[in-house]
Amino acid sequence: MSGLVLPDAGGVTWSVLVQTDEGMPVGAVDAESALRTASVGKVLLLLETARAVTEGEVSGDELLTRTVDEWVADSGLWHTMAVESLPVTDVAALVGAVSDNLATNVLLRRIGLDAVARRAVVLGLRATALHDRVRDVRTTEHAATLSTGSAAELAGLMARVAAGTAVSPAADALVRQWLSANVDLSMVGSVLVEQAGVDPIAHSVVLARQAAADSSVAGHAPGLVLWNKTGTDDGVRADVGAVTRHGRTVTWAAIANWSVAGGRGADRIEAGPAFEAAAGMSRADLTTWAVLRGMRQVGELVLDTVTA
């Protein structure tokens, strides 16, 4: 197993696991540690939604209407759109593609946080959970964080979704489709973009199927299928997912947490030759930069493993 040595700038805590489809770990750092995972917990909502849709409990065509109470800023597209109502499957697609916060809250109202929690229990998850809806401001009345999880549980969950054994083959395929449209490949996925030819915007499983039938399909790395979910918040970066090439699948979960106390403008860094790219950064920005370098290391291990 590879000995991952990840950056610790600013007191970063890591939980990481990269494994093959046989369940063989190829790289790990404190994989059992439970950390904050920001939007990664939305995967549990998508899994329960896919179960309800594929089992006929919820119609994928059912229209969901956004409300003022569910309105949140930050990531997503729906809050920029004029349309007030969307079908369940389109709302889920927004969650998978752009981690849409408004879509998350609307979908969670329909599916239910309790149902998502029950799904986590059925999946055997103890450290991994979606705790609340997305909020612009968290007070003592709310859950302390949106979601938590460990790399061991999340990488294992990704393996089950990839194999079609998490919920059901049909439900898991739907989740893979939603997540394969994810446009955030800034972390682990950045290596697959830069070194494996993955189009950061056009790499969905639909395109993969088209590319398999027609090699002229543009924007898709031949023989490679990628899907993932990321999470970003103050002091949190997380990336979980899977990549398949020629029938071989590698799954990963990489989570980094750190304290953001002290402010973004404090203590500018005068970096030496080894860290020229960090010169002039605040300590907070240096920590984020170091974390993203660590995510790239995980991505390089993923790519090396799937192409070996």
Instruction: Provide, rounded to the nearest whole percent, the portion of the chain with pLDDT above 90.
Output: 77
pLDDT band at 10 (very low <50, low <70, confident <90, very high): confident
For 278-301, write each residue's pLDDT tens digit. Answer: 556 677 788 999 999 999 999 999
Count CA within 13 A, CB hemisphere, residue 235. Answer: 14
For 90-138, write each residue's pLDDT tens digit. Answer: 999 999 999 999 999 999 999 999 999 999 999 999 999 999 999 999 9
pLDDT value for 29 = 96
Q: Is the pTM of this model over 0.85?
A: yes
Q: What CA–CA distances, in Å, run from 166 to 80, 173, 174?
A: 34, 10, 12
Mean pLDDT of the chain: 89
Q: What is the mean pLDDT of residues 253-257?
A: 98
Q: Which residues pair with 241 in a beta bridge?
A: 228, 252
pLDDT band at 180 (very low <50, low <70, confident <90, very high): very high
Residue written as token pair 């540690």: 33
Task: Out of 46-50, 101-105, 222-226, pick the least confident.
Answer: 222-226
Q: Compute how many other C-beta atoms are within 10 angstroms of the C-beta atom of residue 182.
A: 24
Q: What is the mean pLDDT of residues 43-72?
A: 97
State the CATH architecture for 12-262+281-307.
3-Layer(aba) Sandwich (3.40)
pLDDT at 51 over 70: yes
Residue written as token pair 């004029």: 82
In angstroms and rounded to an integer, the radius of gyration of the C-alpha atoms of the chain is: 19
56: exposed, middle or buried (Cβ count in 10 Å: 0-12, 13-18, 19+)? exposed
pLDDT at 215 over 60: no
Spatial distance between the Cα atoms of 28 and 296, rounded to a whole number of angstroms:
14
pLDDT value for 268 = 40
For 155-167, write each residue's pLDDT tens digit. Answer: 999 999 999 999 9
